[in-house]
A = this chain, B = another copy of it.
Amino acid sequence: MNLAALLTSAGINIAVCVILFSLYSILRKQPSNVNVYFGRRISIATRRSDPFCLDRFVPSASWLLKAWRTKEEDLLAVGGLDSVVFIRMVVFSLRIFSIAAVVCVFIVLPVNYHGQKMHHQHIPLQSLEVFTILNVQEGSKWLWTHCLALYIITFSACVLLYFEYKTITKMRLAHITASSSNPSYFTVVVRAIPWSAEESYSDSVRKFFTKYHASSYLSHQMVYRSGKIQKLMSDAGKVCKILKDASVDQTRKPDLFQCGFCGGATDSFKILSNEMESVRGKSSLIDDGVGGRKKVCAAAFVFFKTRYAAVVTSQVLQSSNPMLWVTDMAPEPNDVYWSNLWIPYGQLWIRKIATLLAAIAFMLVFLIPVTFVQGLTQLEFLQQAFPFLRGLLKKKIISQLVTGYLPSVVLILAFYSVPPVMMLFSTAEGCISRSGRKKSACFKVLYFTIWNVFFVNIFTGSLIRQLSVFSSVKDIPAQLANAVPAQAKFFMTYVLSSGWASLACELMQIYPLLCNYFRRFILLKDGYNDTLTFPYHTEIPRVLLFGFVGFTCSILVPLILPFLLVYFVLAYLIYRNQILNVYIPKYESGGQFWPMMHNTVIVSLILMQIIALGVFGLRRSPIASGFTIPLLIFTLLFNEYCRQRFHPIFRNHVSEILMEMDRKDEQSGRMEEVYEQLHSAYCQSPVTPDDSFNSGHVNHHEDGDSIQDPENVNPGKEPSQVNPTWDVTFDRAESSQK
């Protein structure tokens, strides 16, 4: 592949992107698509009727401008801290790769290009290899430029990382201070309540906490597991809701989506009181008055009088048997994953190990069945399976299309199955919060992607051969140094095609769009009405993967950097647009995704340095190798320092801050108000445990979080982000379009 071919490919991709973006700018203006492209907006504002005009069919770039101009404060108000952290990940990548691009294009690229005495062809006809480090001669004196670039990139990355971590830590603390009415700060989840024959779980909890935490204990609420009849009830409720859905006005407000079980609009079922624990007695099965029987679990939410007391109780070892009376801070009410609260605590450690092993196995053997299916899409097999296609397949152009595209379509479809599968693993792991589950899935998808895109492509061959590379530790740098530049072509086209295309898909929301059209024009029903939460577990790994590829390739294959920069610029605009318009933040992790970014960047830097060591070794430049080792040590020390300085804030609550909040509330007399809210904050709807397995279907954006699912949102409560600043930005956006 020469430079001209690469540029042609880039041109085609740019054209495709421009077309898709224009299409998006038209589609978003159609009233029928408002459910798809303005999911967040319709959830908080009444829709206005839009007159039919020609303007609707002219592509415009106003959405880009809008996404560009929105301030971080607005973004924080609209999308929550997590989305700001995500955008900051993109911005960090933009900054560091701008620096890297300048350094590598102006210093490293000329050195590579003139690395060997040869007759240079006309530049566009040059092979791509001429631009990589493979073109530099052994023992070349110019390798110090690579070493210098390594130093500049590492130090700028560390400086940027440090200040980002510092800012995000501050934002997290500010977020905690700002969300002072959050009931989760007063609440502790107690699991593994010991079973006793004499008294109910509820009595045990009351006894334990009045004995040991008398001064701060407020009340508690048991967690129930629904029985068989309850399950039927819940199914009936669902059917009822679907029937109602079909007959509702199209322009209804989102609070009609409320579940009927906890004070919603339907009154055909009696409300299940969540003060069920007032029914006392020795029985662990409680009649809920409708014939269903709920089983009390060995878990409870315990409410405390102050935030500090709750934090203290959650962190101190309660019992002399560490597997009893296990306390943790409760997630936010919207964030609770009820089905997993039922899991006996003693199972958790074994579940964690099992899912970890399963995820690793899935990661390692993923490509085996995929390769097999890809083999099945060969021409001969298709002709045997579908004899009627034989005539068609004999045409040259069709056969080329089939052999060229079908295997990669199979691969892409297989890759789409990964996030739901990982989400399933994370569910089985037993996280009690949705944000925790998403974070855990995010880790798994990240490892999966880096392994299956980066390493598997570098060390092509069977699984055993791939793993055998790692069995000989000291050869790894040299192996990597050989393999990465050799795969330069793959990585560049991967960024061009998969990177840019994934952004266009994200913008177009193809699956919801198709659903919308299907429902509207074929079923003649109301349009697509799922509201989506931001799919951090698919988008963060993608951004991190491109960062990883960027760092490892920057010095070896500097040509990749401009393409990456374009990717990150587009990502910046598109993700901001999506956060502003499409996704609804239903729960917050409070910036917990940043440490993942930090660690991935550090790992990328270290891998970059190890590969550089291998390169300098192969090119016989002991001085450059000698200078790389201190850099490696510096990076590790820097990481350790950040771990000490910032990471505790992401693991624990700071008592100083919580105490200030407590004091302020006590002085202003707001505490009583907060206590009243607490009692109704955690409302458990009757859900079948099987619901947790609904998330395994193809659309990876949903991850089982759709509002239709009764267990997803805390029923009886509106989405928490009803924000006064929002209507202004919405109006501004509309007017700028006209």
Interface residues of A (CB under 8 A from B): 169, 173, 212, 311-312, 315-323, 349-350, 353, 468, 470-474, 637, 640-641, 644-649, 652-657, 659
Contacts and interface: CB of A to CB of B under 8 A. Distances in A.
Contact of A315 (B315, B322, B647, B654): B315
A654 B317 contact: yes
B212 A656 contact: yes
A169 to B, nearest CB: 8
Contacts of A641: 349
A624 B312 CA distance: 51
Nearest to A641: B349
A165 to B, nearest CB: 12
Contacts of A319: 654, 656
Contacts of A353: 637, 640
A318 B640 contact: no
A497 to B, nearest CB: 36
Contacts of A323: 644-645
Contacts of A470: 473
6 contacts: A212-B656, A316-B655, A317-B654, A322-B644, A322-B649, A349-B640
B316 A312 contact: yes
Contact of A471 (B173, B473, B640, B656): B473
Contact of A322 (B212, B646, B657): B646
B317 A655 contact: yes
Nearest to A470: B473
A320 B654 contact: yes
A318 B654 CA distance: 6
**7 closest A-B pairs by CB:** A322-B648, A471-B473, A317-B652, A316-B655, A312-B312, A320-B654, A471-B474
A48 B35 CA distance: 98
A48 B19 CA distance: 104
Contacts of A644: 322-323, 349
Contacts of A473: 470-473
A68 to B, nearest CB: 33
Contacts of A471: 472-474
B655 A212 contact: yes
Contacts of A646: 322
A641 B169 CA distance: 35
Contacts of A637: 350, 353
Given A470-B473, A471-B474, A472-B472, 6 more contacts: A212-B655, A212-B656, A312-B316, A316-B655, A320-B657, A471-B472
A316 B318 contact: no
A656 B318 contact: yes
A655 B325 CA distance: 11
A644 B348 CA distance: 10
Nearest to A348: B644
A646 B317 CA distance: 12
A312 B310 CA distance: 12
Nearest to A346: B644
A316 B652 contact: yes
A472 B471 CA distance: 5
Contacts of A173: 320
Contacts of A652: 316-317
A473 B317 CA distance: 40
Contact of A320 (B349, B350, B649): B649
Nearest to A357: B633
Contacts of A659: 212
A645 B322 contact: yes
A641 B654 CA distance: 31
A373 to B, nearest CB: 30
Contacts of A645: 321-323
Nearest to A212: B659
Contacts of A349: 640-641, 644
A472 B472 CA distance: 5
A94 to B, nearest CB: 29
Contacts of A640: 349, 353
A299 to B, nearest CB: 18
A317 B472 contact: no
A319 to B, nearest CB: 6
A471 B472 CA distance: 5
Contacts of A317: 648-649, 652-655
A660 B637 CA distance: 44
A468 B474 CA distance: 9
Contacts of A322: 644-649
A311 B473 CA distance: 45
A318 B312 CA distance: 11
Contacts of A472: 471-473
A173 B472 CA distance: 47
Nearest to A648: B322
A637 to B, nearest CB: 7
A646 B655 CA distance: 28
Contacts of A315: 315-316
A270 to B, nearest CB: 41
Contacts of A320: 169, 173, 649, 654, 656-657
Contacts of A321: 645
Name, among A312, A316, A350, A644, the residue most crowded by chain B CB atoms within 10 Å (CB to CB). A316
A321 B637 CA distance: 19
Contacts of A311: 316
A520 B647 CA distance: 59
A429 to B, nearest CB: 15
A190 to B, nearest CB: 13
A315 B637 CA distance: 26
A337 B544 CA distance: 46
B474 A655 contact: no
A312 to B, nearest CB: 5
A654 B315 CA distance: 11
Contacts of A656: 212, 318-320
A284 B645 CA distance: 26
Contacts of A653: 316-317
A188 to B, nearest CB: 13
A640 to B, nearest CB: 6
A311 B318 CA distance: 12
A478 to B, nearest CB: 13
A311 B316 CA distance: 8
